[in-house]
Amino acid sequence: MTKKDVPEVLTVGIEKYSNLGFGIARIDGYVIFVEGVCPGDIVKIRVGKKNKNYAFAKVVEIIKPSSHRVEPFCPMQRVCGACQLQFIDYDYQLKLKKDIVEDAMRILNELNLDIRDVIPSPMIRGYRHKIQYPVCETKDSKRILAGYYKIGSHDLVNIKYCPIQPEYCDNIIEFIRITARECGIFGYDENNHIGELRHIVIRNSAYNNKNLVILVMNSDKNLMKFKNLAHRIYTELDNIQGVGINFNSAKTNLILGDKTEIVAGQGYIEEKLCGKIFKIGAKTFFQVNPYTAENIFHYVREYISKNFDSPLVLDAYAGIAAFGICVSDLAKKVVSVEEVKDSTDLAAEIIKENGIKNIELYNMDAAKFFEKELKVAGRKYDAAILDPPRKGCSKESLDNVLKLTKGKIIYVSCNPATLARDLKYLLEQGCKIELIQPFDMFPHTYHIETVVVLNRSFE
């Protein structure tokens, strides 16, 4: 079937899920991606944009629902774009996520890959400990709105209750909605790039329920209004660790600008993982779900413990050196590298306060560090832990990691597509995949975190 033959409205059965959260239906081999559906649904759809080999569609009517459909526990699920899978029972969500990983790995052309069942999140409500709400205001009343965007749009949904984040964060957001107007602060107009308050960012600690609140300004004008708001948040609310102002005047989708000024309290929260206290700042990369994060850290730690005796460990794309710190007592030495200075500064404090003596910490781009290490240090690592951003690693970086590593590569990824691409390249260079272990870091979404162990023990 060609795209010209596909009718505008038709009835289809949903076969499976894509890695971007769309249901997949096929009509005589032609693929149609449908949003807001579950495999097993039979639905009437309206087809929108058509390409040569695939099209996108929206549901007109659910003819026969899948047996895995459930009632969403959040009343805003159908309009908010944050929890795409909340209408699907949780056990089946885990199966779909394993399917997504398996589908991504098909490009490897490897038989008998050890892809294990997804390890569930210990919490599936209240798990999200980093909140980033865009802000705007109503046209007539100038009332401040804050929440998430509707699916596939930049139309803001004013969220007053979000069950996937700690309840107290709802209280903080509501306080800011009201008090910002009392301080004379206007919400941001994204289309015209005017207004003052662009985003509200909260880092909440699962360890002690303290909160770091960051107000993102569109410019540095009228700073006193924001400082007044910051002081009111700090003094009038409980459990506030600190309040800061971030300056972002760029026409960009990036939430935080380069400069953050802490106005009241401390510029970090504390989190306890693997028995150690970590500090997490406004721009620090750290997983939004600390419960699954701890599961992953324990998993990697246990693997290192069972397979090595006092290894030399490379911890790359390290953030606040969480992996390195968690395995430091098992290692002869850990070499940790991270390009964001705020993160390495916090990592240095954490290492000192936890009394750790065997971590070398580098504030460098990972690719440049790999090149430098090959030229200068001349050492070979028993294990390399890679936790790159969603875009994955460059071929040059992977080549250098191979040259630096004599034992295992432990690759942690939040993007199955780029993970599969990088694994394919590593396999072509002679590596062997030992295991693939997915973790549910983001319940009720199509996102999945995966840990892969590769064997580098060859010459």
d(CA 398, CA 430): 12
For 421-448, how does the pLDDT look when each residue is reduced to its tens digit (9 = 90+)? 999 999 999 999 999 999 999 999 999 9
Query: Which CATH class, in words, describes the domain spanning 130-273?
Result: mainly beta
Superfamily of domain covering 3-69? Nucleic acid-binding proteins (2.40.50.140)
3-state secondary structure at position 23: strand
CA dist 230 and 247 (Å) reads 14
The CATH 2.40.50.1070 domain(s) of the chain lie at: 130-273
Cβ proximity of 366 and 316 under 8 Å: yes
Annotated active-site residue 414? The verdict is yes
Structural contact between residues 297 and 119, judged by C-beta atoms closer than 8 angstroms: no
What are the beta bridge partners of residue 437? 451
Judging by DSSP bridges, how do beta strands 268-273 and 276-281 pair with one another? antiparallel
Please give the radius of gyration of the chain, using alpha carbons only, rounded to the nearest integer.
24
pTM beyond cutoff 0.75: yes
- Strand, coil or helix: 196: coil
Say if residue 388's pLDDT is above 70: yes
Give the model confidence (pLDDT) of 86-125 as tens digits: 999 999 999 999 999 999 999 998 888 999 999 999 999 9
* Top-level class of domain 95-122+289-455: alpha beta
Give me the amino acid identity at 285.
Answer: F
Model pLDDT for residues 169-223, shown as the tens digit of each residue: 999 999 999 999 999 999 999 999 999 999 999 999 999 999 999 999 998 888 9
For β-strands 381-386 and 312-316, DSSP reports them as: parallel
List Cα–Cα distances, 153 to 48, 129, 172, 193, in angstroms.
16, 24, 25, 17
CB 24 within 8 A of CB 32: yes
The tokens of 337 are what? Answer: 């590298």
